[in-house]
Amino acid sequence: MSRESTLNQLSDYLEHLRVERGLAHNTVEAYAHDLHAFVTYLSDRGETFASAGTELVAAFLGSLATPPPAVSNARGTGARGAPAGRKKIGGRSQARYLSALRGLFRFLRKQRLVTMDPTELIDRPRATAGLPTVLSRAEVERLLAAPDVNDPAGLRDAAMLYTMYASGLRVSELVGLGLNDLSREQGLVKVTGKGGKQRLVPIGDLACALVEQYLVSARAAWADEGDPSLFVTPRGTGMTRQAFWKIVRRHAQVAGIVRPVSPHKLRHSFATHLLEGGADLRAVQVMLGHSDISTTQVYTHVLTDRLKAVHQRHHPRG
């Protein structure tokens, strides 16, 4: 079987996720990214889905944890076509790859395209206990103050930054907001999260006021007629995740924040600062859109680490 046939089978599976499972576009794209890496790994070794055994799948997962040497050829690739300098990934990301592979092979077995599932005997990789990194309150204040609100693009940037920090939205949720998702009177946004689940999240008076100014001073001049997107570019098109990442990084530099800043760090900072202020963990879970409260509890560990640091710094026997 050729690589083209393998890719066709993968395409059928991704279409199954889109149409029959109804998964969100971003979720399907994440599956596609991980599974295309596996297809490349198979092709480099002359293997297919049907011929892949447990040892081969385990070796693929192991290769993710042990990247090839950063020795590049003329095409900029390392050993056996792997991207040169690919970063090693942790247990949590390996577990995500394994989950994607399990779903794929279950589908292929139902379609009678493979005779066995090589992932059945593979244990889930142990996730490393990585804690979210957050910005300090002072850093957030500098970041929010960085855009020039007298400039239309700066006003839009400020409105987006304030909205994200005030609500803790995922970047895909922020750029996916529509005009009809904003309730100006109540100070709420209707958010469509993972799995198409909707929730109402407050964004506060300051964010609401900036969004109002942006709608009048910038969006009214930029937006194409009929475009439902709340946040748009000067070209009239809806904002993308990649574009907002660049906006955050640019204003972080202006704010003099030397460590890397991403939209997700604003989300982490939102949750941590709420809990520091005495917010209920369950309320934070609802606002973040976490289906399981154990996902939200990671922020309590961040608070514990901060308390330990304060104790060590200020207690005479710390």
Instruction: Give domain limits for the chain.
Output: 3-110, 137-314
Helix axes 241-254, 137-145, angle to 10 degrees: 100
Residues that are catalytic: 170, 194, 264, 267, 290, 299
Residue 77: what pLDDT? 41
Residues 173 and 189: beta-carbon distance below 8 Å: no
Query: Token pair for residue 189?
Result: 């946004």
How far, rounded to the nearest angstrom, does the alpha carbon of residue 88 sit from its chain's CA centroid? 18
Is the alpha carbon torsion for 233, 236, 201, 171 positive or negative? negative
Here the tokens at position 281 are: 């963990």
Q: In this predicted structure, which of 123-137, 256-270, 303-317 has the lowest mean pLDDT?
A: 303-317
pLDDT in tens, 18-64: 998 888 888 899 899 999 999 999 999 999 999 999 999 988 988 88
With beta carbons less than 8 A apart as the criterion, state whether 25 and 172 touch.
Answer: no
Judge whether 3-110 and 137-314 match in fold: no
Superfamily of the domain at 3-110: Tyrosine recombinase, N-terminal domain (1.10.150.130)
% of the chain exceeding 70 in pLDDT: 84
Residues 6+ apart with CB under 8 A from 126: 91
User: Are 144 and 158 contacting, i.e. CB atoms less than 8 angstroms apart?
Assistant: yes
Q: Which CATH number fits domain 137-314: 1.10.443.10, 2.40.40.20, 3.90.105.10, 1.10.10.410?
A: 1.10.443.10
pLDDT of residue 160: 97
Q: Sheet holding 182-183: strands in order across?
A: 182-183, 188-192, 198-202
* Residue 114 to residue 100: CA distance in whole angstroms: 16
CA atoms within 13 A on the CB side of 58: 9
**Torsion angle defined by CA atoms of residues 247, 230, 186 and 135, in that order, rounded to the nearest 10 degrees:** -10
Tell me which of 87-91, 235-239, 274-278, 297-301 is least confident.
87-91
| Nearest residue to 134 via CA among 299, 301, 310, 265 | 265
Give per-residue burial for 251-265: e unless 16+ CB within 10 Å, then b.
Answer: bbeebebeeebebeb
Q: Cβ(160)–Cβ(244) under 8 Å?
A: yes
Q: Structure tokens of 202?
A: 């407050």
At residue 7, what is the residue type?
L
For residue 168 the two structure tokens come to 């803790």
* Whole-number Cα distances in Å, 124 to 121, 127, 144: 10, 9, 40
The per-residue pLDDT for range 80-120, each reduced to its tens digit, is: 434 444 456 667 788 889 999 999 999 999 999 999 999 98
Backbone angles phi, psi at 154, to 5 degrees: -65, -35
176 vs 105: CA distance, rounded Å: 32
Per DSSP, which regions of the chain are E strands? 182-183, 188-192, 198-202
Average pLDDT over residues 298-318: 65
pTM above 0.75, yes or no: no
The CA angle 195-201-205, to the nearest 5 degrees, is 155
Q: Is 249 exposed, middle or buried (0-12, 13-18, 19+ CB in 10 A)?
A: middle
